[in-house]
Amino acid sequence: MATDSILTLAGVVAGYGKLTVLNGVDLRVAEGSITTMIGPNGAGKSTVLKTVFGLLRPTAGEIRFRGQAIAGLSQRALLSLGLAYVPQGRNLFPELTVRHNLELGGITLGDRKRLERRIDAVMGRFPRLLERADAQASTLSGGEQKMLEIGRALLLEPTLLLIDEPSIGLAPKLVGEVFAILRELRESGVTILMVEQNAKAALAVSDDALVLEQGCLAFAAPAAETLEDPKVHALFLGGGLEDGAGGNSAQAE
Amino acid sequence: MAEFVQLLVSGLATGAIYALAAMGFTLLWQTSQTINFAQGEFVMLPAFIMLSAIKLFGLPLYAAFGVSLLVSALLLGFGFKRLLVDPMIRHGVLPLVIATIALGIFLKEGVKLVYGAEALPFPEALPQGIWRFASVSVTVNDIGVLLLVFAMVLALQGFLSRTTTGRAMQAVAQNPDTARILGIDVPRMITYTFLVNAALVSVAALLITPVYLAKFDNGESIGLIAFIAAIVGGFNQIRGALVGGLLIGVIDNLSGAYISAAYREAFPLLLLIAVILFRPQGLLGRAEERRV
């Protein structure tokens, strides 16, 4: 397992100003997997992604991508190493067209011809984006917008995709589509580290699960096992099993 | 009718110059949340740079304009961002606003100290003369101003929408966090907008100073009108700033001639009040989302 980790965090401490959110996170993401982080609100799931992508600077600990220490690198450097990040919520440039949103995803390429080819490749993968190529991003439906965000993150052909709450605000049918896209990406060799509130659906498409609690890794296990685990079920997957009475406050938000 | 058309054209021409300052104002706000209350002084200063270049080096006006473009880019673009905006924006939008007010006073008083309080004559930037179409006569200067400003607006819009750099600048204005995630060099794009603003105020100075003469306190009215034009048009739209500037130029001119010359400066403010009451996002603006 240790040899095929694409990403490892060891004792990572990070937060916002004086507020420490991650209290020494240790975790590994296996190459070629979909790994989903679950846990109550405030456990630090999104903060892990932000810290890995250099938006927060860890005050202690180590982050390695393919063995290389990456803490403190610029986004440009991380992108060129093969990381990409799709944050939570709306992340498009609403007044630019679909094509121009994609173009900016590849702005660090520098090579116009290669950029055009990559844009064509992404549009080939998501025909809907090709149809709407010249429409303003703000006119896309919620599902199309998420597709565009993912497509844009794929423009540099990343090997590790960090994605935060891809299903938020989407209709159930679209949630399935987004997870299917992630599954396809995994088949084509992209490793995915995902944060998802919709834990049941996310774990169903995941290989591994990481459970975070209060800024620490509580435990890591194959996703299938985690789905069966009655304690996880009670705490994070909401309902179904009987033993969670009163212990559900963390999930209530 | 003939008089009306004349007033309309000259109002549009003055408004077009205001629009240059207003567009720069809007650009700075969009990309860097800088509300530049020294924008009027930013139009006043290049006039004195040009006058100095003419006096000291004996340059013709257009060469002096080239000098002022460079000096403005350095001082009002790069220097302004590095020395004032970057250190102050960390403390928030309001401290930065206060700092720009201070900068405006500093520039005004500095110019007064060096050049005195008298209005100095300024050479005409465009050919003079009058064109007559039937009973309507318009000045060549006004038409020249309008053509020049529209050429600049087209060039600016073209740059922002048709080049990758321009689109990256728009991206920074629309969503800086995402721009950063994609590896867009956000600080550099912001610097570009400050340089664009420096160019806009330099051109505005070249065109307006022959009318107002070069005076240390010219920035007061120009800055106020640019601010009003930006709000009237929609604070987040360059097109809006253009429309706002033109509208105020026309209203100012027509109300001065037909309603009251003494109160002409009040009419743009009435427009401002009306817009704030009935269409707070501005004529072309979109309601701004507040992100937390």
A158 touches chain B (CB under 8 A): no
In-domain check, residue B290: no
- Is the pLDDT at A251 greater than 70? The verdict is no
Give the C-alpha separation, A47 to B274, whole Å: 45
Nearest CA in chain B to A50: B181
Closest Cβ–Cβ partner in A55, A85, A107 for B168: A107
Q: Give the rounded distance of the alpha carbon of B134 from its chain centre.
A: 34
A100 touches chain B (CB under 8 A): yes
DSSP secondary structure, chain B, as one string: -HHHHHHHHHHHHHHHHHHHHHHHHHHHHHHH----TTHHHHHHHHHHHHHHHHHHH---HHHHHHHHHHHHIIIIIIIIIIIIIHHHHTT-HHHHHHHHHHHHHHHHHHHHHHH-SSPBP---SS---EEEETTEEEEHHHHHHHHHHHHHHHHHHHHHHHSHHHHHHHHHHH-HHHHHHTT--HHHHHHHHHHHHHHHHHHHHHHHHHHH-B-TTHHHHHHHHHHHHHHHH-TT-HHHHHHHHHHHHHHHHHHHHHT-STTTTHHHHHHHHHHHHH-TT-SS--PPP---
According to the model, what pLDDT value does residue B137 have? 87
What is the predicted ipTM?
A: 0.86
On whether the pTM is more than 0.90, the answer is no
- Is the pLDDT at A204 greater than 80? The verdict is yes
Q: Give the rounded distance of the alpha carbon of B244 from its chain centre.
A: 11
End-to-end CA distance of chain A: give it in Å, rounded.
35
Nearest CA in chain B to A75: B183
Question: Each residue of A62-95: b (16+ CB within 10 Å) or e?
Answer: ebbbeeeebbebebbebbebbbbbbbeebbbbbb
pLDDT in tens, chain B (292 residues): 788 999 999 999 999 999 999 999 999 999 998 999 999 999 999 999 999 999 999 999 999 999 999 999 999 999 999 999 999 999 999 999 999 999 999 999 999 999 999 999 999 999 889 988 888 889 999 999 999 999 999 999 999 999 999 999 999 999 999 999 999 999 999 999 999 999 999 999 999 999 999 999 999 999 999 999 999 998 878 889 999 999 999 999 999 889 888 888 888 899 999 999 998 888 887 776 544 4
Averaged pLDDT, A174-202 = 92
Give the C-alpha separation, A68 to A73, whole Å: 11
According to the model, what pLDDT value does residue A111 have? 87
In-domain check, residue B74: yes
Q: How far is A151 from chain B (nearest CA, A)?
A: 12
According to the model, what pLDDT value does residue A247 have? 39
In-domain check, residue B62: yes
- Is the pLDDT at A249 greater than 50? The verdict is no
In-domain check, residue B129: yes
Nearest CA in chain B to A76: B183
A58 touches chain B (CB under 8 A): no
According to the model, what pLDDT value does residue A237 have? 62
State the CATH number of the domain containing residue B194: 1.10.3470
In-domain check, residue B38: yes
> What are the structural domain ranges in chain A?
1-47+57-82+159-168+181-253, 89-157
Return mean pLDDT, chain A: 88
Q: How far is A100 from chain B (nearest CA, A)?
A: 8
Instruction: Identify the sign of the CA torsion B265, B267, B270, B271.
Output: negative
Closest Cβ–Cβ partner in B167, B168, B183 for A79: B183
Kindly list the distances between the CA atom of residue A144 and the CA atoms of A98, B30, B134, B179, in Å, as whole numbers in the listed order.
10, 26, 57, 19
In-domain check, residue B102: yes
Averaged pLDDT, A156-176 = 92
- Report which residue type is found at A191: T
A137 touches chain B (CB under 8 A): no
Check A93 against B174: CB less than 8 A apart. Answer: yes
Closest Cβ–Cβ partner in B170, B180, B184 for A96: B170
Closest Cβ–Cβ partner in A91, A95, A103 for B178: A91
Of the candidates A118, A187, A183, A117, which has an alpha carbon nearest to the alpha carbon of residue A151?
A: A118
According to the model, what pLDDT value does residue A4 have? 83
In-domain check, residue B127: yes
- Is the pLDDT at A245 greater than 50? The verdict is no
Non-local CB neighbours of A21 within 8 Å, separated by 6+ positions? A14, A15, A42, A44, A47, A215
Q: How far is A222 from chain B (nearest CA, A)?
A: 30
Torsion angles phi and psi, residue A37, rounded to 5? -95, 125
Domains: count for chain B = 1
Of the candidate CATH numbers 3.40.50.300, 3.40.50.1370, 3.50.50.60, 3.30.70.2860, the domain formed by A1-47+57-82+159-168+181-253 belongs to 3.40.50.300
CA angle B16, B289, A83 (to 5 degrees): 105
In-domain check, residue B133: yes
Non-local CB neighbours of B41 within 8 Å, separated by 6+ positions? B103, B104, B107, B108, B219, B223
End-to-end CA distance of chain B: give it in Å, rounded.
53
Kindly list the distances between the CA atom of residue B214 and the CA atoms of A162, A227, B49, in Å, as whole numbers in the listed order.
57, 76, 10
Averaged pLDDT, A226-239 = 71
Q: Give the rounded distance of the alpha carbon of A5 from its chain centre.
A: 16
Nearest CA in chain A to B179: A104
Averaged pLDDT, A99-110 = 93
The strand pair at B130-133 and A216-222 is best described as unpaired
B185 interaction partners in chain A (CB closer than 8 Å): 76
Q: If contacts are CB pairs under 8 Å, which of residues 107-166 in chain B contact chain A?
A: 164
Q: Pick left, alpha or beta for residue B189 (phi over 0 → left; psi -120 to 50 → alpha; otherwise beta).
A: alpha
Of the candidates B32, B11, B23, B22, which has an alpha carbon nearest to the alpha carbon of residue B186?
A: B32
Torsion angles phi and psi, residue B31, rounded to 5? -90, -30
Q: Residue A243 — pLDDT band, cuts 50, 70, 90?
A: very low
According to the model, what pLDDT value does residue B50 have? 97
Which residues span the domain enclosing B163?
Answer: 2-278
Nearest CA in chain B to A105: B182
* Per-residue pLDDT reduced to its tens digit, A5-39: 999 999 999 999 889 999 999 999 999 999 999 98
